[in-house]
Amino acid sequence: MSTNTPIKLTKVQASGSVNIHLITSKKDLDAISEAKDLKKKIAERVGDDELVFSIPSNDGLIIIAKAKTEKEMSYRFQSARALGAKLKKILNAEKAKEATLISTSEKPEDTLAVVEGIVLANYQFLNYKTGDRNKPHSLSQLNVFAKSVSEKDLNEVYAVSRGTFAARDFVNEPPVTLNATSWSKLITELGKETGFKVTVLDKKKIEALRMGGLLGVNKGSVEPPTFNILEYKPKNAKNKKPIVLVGKGVTYDTGGYNVKTVQMAQMKSDMGGGAAVCGAFAAIAASKLPVYVVGLIPATDNRIDGKAIVADDVLTMMSGTKVEVLNTDAEGRLILADALHYAKQYDPELVIDLATLTGAAARVTDYHGIAMCSDKTDTSKLKESGEKVYERLMEFPMWREFHTAIKSDVADIKNIGGAAGGNITAATFLHHFTHYPWIHLDIAGPSFMTSDVDYRVKGGTGVGVRLLYDFIKNSLA
């Protein structure tokens, strides 16, 4: 696992040698003594667009920064995070180890969005870099000088960023070192560090539960599967019935005998849903939110050998449902089906599953958002959180015609539908195993970046962690 952690965040009452002055208008320049000689020149550049103006001095570095002006809340916060990502580049280019962000804004959320952008953009995965290629960023501490921002606010940003970093680390780890068993050990370590309980079911216990989907996908692997149960239940929890978070945990996906012929690289990211659940638990527990949550992560790889399932096989799921497998590369829904059935025993208030499930979803949303389906469960608060953290949700209907598409000629249902609406038929398959309020999130588009985009750095993004945390905090805490 990466030893990388977020930069230290501290509330201070004075400036330092490297100062970032966050402004919202030209008037704010009056209070910046270091900008006195350049005030007119800087003022000419202050408008609706983003502004970053550096002033080198003998005592250090002064940066005047302003986020792009946006009216909509979602874009406003996002422009602030994007500004933070740009500031991170400047600070590291200047080899600054410590910097102070000075803000007079009365809106703490705007200042915190800039802080979040700096922190998230500063992430690195250097486990397998050697020699001169292993170059950690210089920035290790960010001080915040702002009356509207509290120490508690900064601790929360740190906790959520740490959870996001954990999710990114899990996704970025290569399959040669991260299998179901080793991942379960790392989840257990994360639970001990941040304060949530982890129970790991091994293959014998999975067999005893007759989880046919998980066992079926695992048949082609030399590594045994695991079923991970995460629990956080503080004494002051405000909900008696838990919110259950279910995450797809395919540590590597070859496609099975329906082998991926176009793109197999990056398939280590096929456990992004499970990684997000882990990260959300780390953030919730570290922040001590008064909520009762349960996490379920079925974990295995999807590989090929003489025992692997093939198209035309029929699997008996934990629920007793018999599923005709027509495509072994539609494996995520098979392992999630067992987890969703397992969730029934908790009589949950709500179940949310996250999965890098379909290419169809990625083609619709790209990295800009998440494809969502539900069984008429109220999704309004989750959508609000999505807009706030910029992990936006695009909702798709599950019309009855899509249920017809997964009817099987030889079993109860089949694991794929037709050519159209692939992300919807996948959700429809999962819906068969739910009898409680349920929301499905297909994160295939934004889970892995092939290049840096502001604070979403190349590799695993940890998408879902910030979304789940904000939703649970504002719904229950």
Residue 220: which residues within 8 A CB-CB, separation 6 or more? 256, 302, 303, 304, 305, 307, 308, 309
Q: Tally Cβ neighbours within 10 Å of residue 364.
A: 18
Contact partners, residue 345, CB within 8 Å, separation at least 6:
none
What element of type H or E holds 438? Answer: strand 438-442
List of residues 6+ apart from 93 with CB closer than 8 A: none
**Whole-angstrom distance, CA of residue 49 vs CA of residue 275:** 36
R_g over Cα of the chain: 23
> Encoding tokens for residue 197?
């309980």
Catalytic residue of the set 333, 388, 456, 466: 333
CA separation for the pair 20, 421 (Å, rounded): 48
Residue 260 falls in the annotated catalytic set? yes
Closest to 278 (Cα-Cα) out of 418, 377, 386, 165? 165
Helix or strand (DSSP H, E) at 154: helix 151-172
Q: Up-side HSE of residue 284: CA atoms within 13 Å toward CB?
A: 36
Catalytic residue status for 152: no
| Residue indicated by tokens 């159209």 | 420
Residue 76 tokens, joined: 């406003």
Question: How many CB atoms lie under 10 A from the CB of residue 284?
Answer: 31
Q: Which two tokens stand for residue 211?
A: 């989880």
Cα-based distances in Å from 357 to 279, 335, 415, 427: 19, 11, 12, 9
Helix (H) or strand (E) holding 43: helix 39-45
User: Cβ(30)–Cβ(202) under 8 Å?
Assistant: no
In the beta sheet, which residues pair with residue 441? Answer: 354, 372
Residue 173: exposure state from Cβ atoms within 10 A (0-12, 13-18, ≥19)? buried
What is d(CA 122, CA 89) in angstroms, rounded to the nearest whole number?
8
Instruction: Name the active-site residue from 8, 68, 89, 260.
Output: 260
Dist CA 81 CA 371 (whole Å): 23
Residue 101 to residue 104: CA distance in whole angstroms? 10
Q: Is 218 exposed, middle or buried (0-12, 13-18, 19+ CB in 10 A)?
A: buried
Q: Which residues contact 473 (CB under 8 A, 6 or more apart)?
A: 284, 287, 289, 291
The single residue listed with the structure tokens 């704010």 is 28
Residues tagged active-site: 260, 333
